[in-house]
Chains A and B, each alone.
Chain A
Amino acid sequence: MSSVDFSWLIGGPQGSGVESGANVFSKVCAELGYQVFGKREFHSNIKGEHSYFTVRISERFIHSNVNDVTLMISFDAETIFRHYDEILSGGGIIYDSDLEKTTTDSVRTLDNYFKERLHKELESKNKPFTIAGVLEIAKENGVKLYPVSFKEILANLAEETENPRLKGMVRMYNVIGVSLSLGLIKMPADSLLKSIDSIFSKKPQIAEINKQAANYSYDYARTNFTHFSFTLSGVEKQANTILVQGHQGTSIGKIVSGCRFQSYYPITPASDESVFLESNEILAIHDDRPGSIAVIQTEDEISAIGMMIGSSLTGTRSSTSTSGPGFALMAEALGWAGRNEVPIVLTIYQRSGPSTGLPTRHGQDDLLFAVTGSFGDFPKIVYASGDIEESFYDTGKCFNFADVYQVPVIHMMDKFLSSSVVTCKRFDPKKITINRGKLLDKIEGEYKRFAFTEDGISPRSRLGLDNGVFWNTGDESDEFGHITEDPQMRIKMMDKRMSRLDLILKQVPKEEQVVSYGIHDFTIISWGSTKGPILDALEILQGEGIDIGFIQIKLLHPFPAESVKSMLENVKTVIDIEANHSGQLGKIFKQNVTREIDYFILKYTGRGMTSTEIYNSLKKIIENKANKREVLEHGS
């Protein structure tokens, strides 16, 4: 095991710069050679509600958060009320000393459900309902407290720099908090200033005062804060490392894969991807004039999918990005694309449903809907990525699947991934290939868009191509694409389209369908973003001499039943891990593999799984102390 495993938490009201504070901290750590896994939690709210960011750092690649926080920085009372009990013994809390007398009732954003639980806890320990009260508990738990008046820091800074305006700059509380943290753990200061420069690169004046505040606070912590047992001084930097935001895997993947049209309607947590694409709409092309991607914000998700299909019919690689509610609106047109064999890629950043559900929280509840979504039988592909790095390469695969098999491809992502910030190996665009399947550049003679062929896939024309005139319809059609209700033609067309599902299972390389991380008596099946916390949990178990297997199923439809079945042949206990209530993968597994799931580890609080939680549940399963359904609860 590595020597460094440090978790830092910053919290504050939404709009107070929690995220940019965390970005500075993550960047500094990455600059110093550490691997970073950061994750943001926030309410469906613009300003005022509680949001927080946890950044875990280590010397080796990490894939998840853990339960325990090593150091928390808070410039508001709510963060302390909500997170004081997450700090491990020996860890620390830096907090604004002016908050000590703040009562729970004076914090308007503390909801009653939470307050009731907190009051009960404080009562049982005979503490007042104040910040001082919860901090006493933390202290009794072995947590070190570092009080500092943020107001005073600003006042002193204003005096020292002879700039009275600084006195009221509460917007800098985030940078002050980050700098105090770095001072406490004795990180070198130069990368802090560098990362402030890069974050405020367009506003040099703001960068300047932020640097003054950073310097002052950093020195303040080095001088005044003592006896903290964690210091981080940097490690050897690994070459070719990047620090990426959750949506950047799919968005940069789309650019490389040649996606030149994206239509979308704003929805959390998917829109970041489209905004990134539009910010990078002009593209550099090797040995050629610039290219571009048209990013169109539509009036609703129905229009987004309609436009994407219209664009794809011209031969343009086209996609959209949405979440559950938007995907539901797309269902009718999805079937149209299936019926007309139109290659499209839908990137679904899942959140927690049903309906609006927990709109800014995580969930993996849309798997069954993705698999069965839209009425009628038609072929499609559902493919899931396990982490951000994977999502870059998978995006390339999804566009190839769409073109080669002429089907809609649903690329499953989720909020856990989208709101993560991680270090990973620099994406390698050379590892993405472009295969456009039977897309035609030239047509001579009679052309039939849906011509019957040996493999069931017809050469594809595109709107505007010379001599390539064809018709599409949502009705059943003949080979030209004209409406037919002939029963024999119906059988042939249905069989032609549906035969693709077997072809996909046959042709897609097995290792792209299911990834095995070892098979043992106890083996986990899972899909999507649970991959990270599972791998981290398995590593801890391995350290204890316990081997548990894990297969990550990436191709979820058509389901690779035979591969999964044979992989699990000698497995005694199958454990399904998913972030939903009903164990949706488990249902698909049971139906296809005709085998029962022995244990479920499920979480549907809307918060991502930590490796600690998974580790604990797996331990219980091995020790035969677990329930059939282990339901996880960590995270506020």
Chain B
Amino acid sequence: MALKLADFKTTVHNDWCPGCGDFGIVNALQMALAEMGIERDKATIFSGIGCSGKTSHFINTYGIHTLHGRVLTFAQGGKLANPEMTVVAVGGDGDGLGIGAGHFVAAGRRNIDMTYIIFDNGVYGLTKGQASPTLKLGEKTKSLPTPNTNYDVNPIGLAVASGFTFVARAYSYDVRHLKDLIVKAVKHKGLSFLDVLQPCPTYNDINTRDWYAGEDLAQEAAERHSRIYKLEDTHFDPVVHYADETEVNEKLAQALIKSLEWGNKIPTGIFYKNELISPFATRLTDKIPNYLENPPAKQNISKDGVPTTDVSKILDSLKV
């Protein structure tokens, strides 16, 4: 029986603010799971802490709501032990690029086959709107006593530099485009990263839905003038086609330069994609040939309570 969108919804009361960009992301994620036909019990959504952290409770798959900044660690452990499972990790930009930045970088180096989605809104919503890592220097959102004193992190640039092999950006109010990108991210062989621009209607009064829609620009031009555009509508080719240093470096540099574009034009879509880098499972299989057929979660360790592991060789080597 084909899976429907409704199969992926829970009855848990959603307490996000009206108009929150998070709704679009949860919907897109549910749509993507349904479209890919992934069984509910073959997927796990890991989430961090904050408004976005509640996401796992709204999706009717395995859902693990972890700790602030640590979502990638839990998710990677789960995927490594049970590589057959589809794993999506989600969290806010403060979660992933502030307290969790070290794990973000380390995850890139491993390139485990899973997806990480950041709900990027520039503020810490659940603690009443403090500046988060993606808020620009000098900006003063509603509840900041004084303008932000920190420079902003560039999520796309950091992902590209850290070794993520699929790096994309989406906008939470373009749910269909977001859903398409989630499908591509999940299907990517390796670690995929999706930076989702997501207005916080309560605390971020700068990067609002109207701002993304370019209403301020529209007044001058007397027409709608959305800031968001799609890379796939341009001649931008994000794919690393062959394992050649020049090719790889050009695509990395191109992604980084593109990630710096902000202001009146904000690119979305895929910035970088490289399936020539080995996923972590391949690196493990090089050492443990049957890792994928007999992964940690599937191994029989006992029979009738008796251990089945034979350590006689190890013990023989210690014999005197």
The stretch from B196-204, B246-254, B289-297 touching chain A is: B289-297
CB-CB under 8 A from B65, the residues of chain A are: 471-475, 483
* A281 & B287 in contact (Cβ 8 Å cutoff): yes
Known: A256-B307, A434-B305. A303 touches B103 (CB 8 A): yes
Interface size class of B (residues with CB under 8 A): 35 or more
Query: Please, which residue of chain B has its CB at the minimum distance from the CB of A283?
Result: B309
- Shortest B167–chain A CB gap in Å is 20
Tell whether, in the assembled complex, residue B46 and residue A310 are in contact, meaning their CB atoms are under 8 Å apart: yes
Task: Indicate if the CB atoms of A261 and B81 lie closer than 8 Å.
Answer: yes
Q: How far is the CA of A257 from the CA of B309 in the complex (A)?
A: 8
Complex interface: chain B residues within 8 A of A299 (CB) = 102-103, 105-106
B residues in contact with A470, CB < 8 Å: 62-63
- Chain A residues lying within 8 Å of B60, measured Cβ to Cβ, are 469
Q: Is A318 engaged at the interface, CB distance under 8 Å to the other chain?
A: yes
Contacts of B187 in A (CB 8 A): none
B residues less than 8 Å from A312 (CB atoms): 77, 81
Which of B66, B103, B287 contacts A474, CB < 8 Å? B66
A interface, by DSSP: helix, strand, loop or mixed?
mixed
Contact yes or no, A471 B300, CB < 8 A: no
A288 to B298, CA, bound (A): 13
Task: Give complex CA distance A161, B291 in Å.
Answer: 50
Contact status of A336 and B57, CB under 8 A, knowing A298-B106, A310-B46, A464-B42: no
In the complex, the answer to whether B82 meets A292 with C-beta atoms within 8 Å is no
Q: Is B222's beta carbon under 8 Å from chain A?
A: no
A426–B301 CB distance below 8 A = no
Of all chain B residues, the one with the shortest Cβ separation from A260 is B296
Chain A residues lying within 8 Å of B308, measured Cβ to Cβ, are: 285-288
Are the CB atoms of B41 and A469 closer together than 8 Å? Answer: yes
A 423-442 to B, binary, CB cutoff 8 A, 1 in contact else 0: 10011011011111000000
Q: Is the CB of A261 within 8 A of B305?
A: no
Contact mask B74-86 → A, CB, 8 Å, 1/0? 1111111110110
Q: Does B221 contact A (CB under 8 A)?
A: no
Say whether B219 faces chain A, with CB atoms less than 8 Å apart: no
Q: Name which of B16-24, B139-147, B310-318 contacts chain A.
A: B310-318
A471→B81 contact, CB < 8 A:
no
Given contacts A307-B74, A429-B311, contact A293 B296 (CB under 8 A): yes
**A281-B288, A462-B297 given; A303·B73 CB < 8 A:** yes
Contact A469 to B307, CB < 8 A, known contacts A260-B301, A474-B67 = no
* A255-B309, A288-B308, A474-B65 known; A311 vs B296 contact (CB < 8 Å): yes
**What chain B residues lie within 8 Å of A20 (beta carbons)?**
none
A289 close to B297 (CB less than 8 A): no
Are B67 and A333 in contact, with the CB atoms below 8 A? yes
B41 and A465 form a contact (CB under 8 A): yes
A66 CA / B105 CA spacing, docked (Å): 49
Does chain A have a CB within 8 A of B235? no
Within 8 A of B (CB), among A352-399: 396
Name the A residues within 8 Å of B84 (CB-CB). 464
Q: Is A504 an interface residue (CB 8 A)?
A: no
Choose from B63, B67, B306, B319 the contact partner of A306 (Cβ within 8 Å). Answer: B67
Q: Known: A292-B291, A310-B46, A314-B82. Is A471-B76 also a contact (CB below 8 A)?
A: no
Interface residues in A474-491 (C-beta closer than 8 Å to B): 474-475, 481-483
Do A310 and B76 touch across chains, with their CB atoms under 8 A apart?
yes
Known: A27-B320, A256-B307. A314 touches B300 (CB 8 A): no
Partner of B73, one of A306, A315, A469, A475: A306
Residue numbers of A with Cβ under 8 A of B are 27, 30-31, 237, 241-244, 248, 252, 255-258, 260-261, 263, 280-294, 296, 298-300, 302-318, 332-333, 336, 396, 423, 426-427, 429-430, 432-436, 462-475, 481-483
A306-B77, A432-B307 known; 14 new pairs, CB 8 Å cut-off, are A248-B318, A260-B301, A285-B308, A290-B294, A291-B301, A291-B309, A293-B296, A310-B46, A315-B297, A316-B297, A463-B44, A464-B42, A471-B65, A483-B12
Across the A-B interface, give the 9 residue pairs with the lowest CB-CB distance, nearest first: A306-B73, A310-B77, A258-B301, A307-B77, A299-B106, A434-B302, A310-B78, A311-B81, A30-B320
Sample of 17 A–B contacts (CB below 8 Å): A252-B315, A258-B309, A283-B310, A284-B313, A287-B308, A289-B290, A291-B301, A292-B291, A292-B296, A306-B67, A310-B64, A433-B306, A463-B78, A466-B41, A468-B62, A469-B61, A474-B66
